[in-house]
Structure 1
Amino acid sequence: MDYDDRLDRALEETPDIHQQGERFEVPTPEIRTEGHATVFENFQDVVERLDRDPDHVLQFLQNELGTSARIDESGRARLTGDFSTDRIQAAIDDYLEAFVICPECGLPDTRFETEQGTRVIKCDACGAISPTGE
């Protein structure tokens, strides 16, 4: 196998990084009402997919939804008040935009780091460093 054949083979087997939707999908929130609370049943699944600290995500949801919340013993988020799936999905989408998706390359391959005492988002795909806005 010569160089050109190997190059063609490598390109065929390499995933297309511009097809983010196929590679990175966050589960749709599973919501149910329980008295005066909204229970986010698959909160842990969403947090694991985002690869972020559950407390950080919960704090963001509280701020976005203007409510109080806690994580129960089963790992579900319990939000005070009645919230629709669409409203919680919109808040998660805002979290993605603010803390997960790289503003430079648009990929979700980011992580939090602290540089000079400031929390930043570092992209493992392109190397960009962005402020978190916190």
Structure 2
Amino acid sequence: MRPCGVEARLVVMEHHPSAPLLDERRRALLDELARVDGELRTVREAKTDGTDDDEHDPEGATMSTQWSHATGLRSAVVLQLEEVDGALARIAAGTYGTCTRCGRPISAGRLEARPSAPLCIDCARGTTG
């Protein structure tokens, strides 16, 4: 008996060559997100503990600099996580490897270099679509 519906999508995801890479990348990004969130909590606590001295460590970065760096890093991690989740959704839908803009196939080399790529190289460069 062949799987259908949701079961068929799960079978496709389990056997798609890019799925393990994307799953591994997703786990790494979630770990990084947890680390950055911990860093943000630490800076937030340091700023609210009554010490308003932004130059808490003359040899190190200021709390404002640490906060700015961590929030920027968090935004980048969230964006990458969204890209990976999008790729996993395309695998489940059976559209992985097809450019989301022009509908042409994404080259194997591009997918090997960037498994979460939603666009073919031409669309990513802005030369088509």
TM-score by length of 1: 0.25
Greater relative contact order (CA < 8 Å, ≥ 6 in sequence): 2
* Structure with greater proportional strand content: 1
Question: Bigger radius of gyration, 1 or 2?
Answer: 2
* Structure with greater proportional helix content: 2
TM-score by length of 2: 0.25
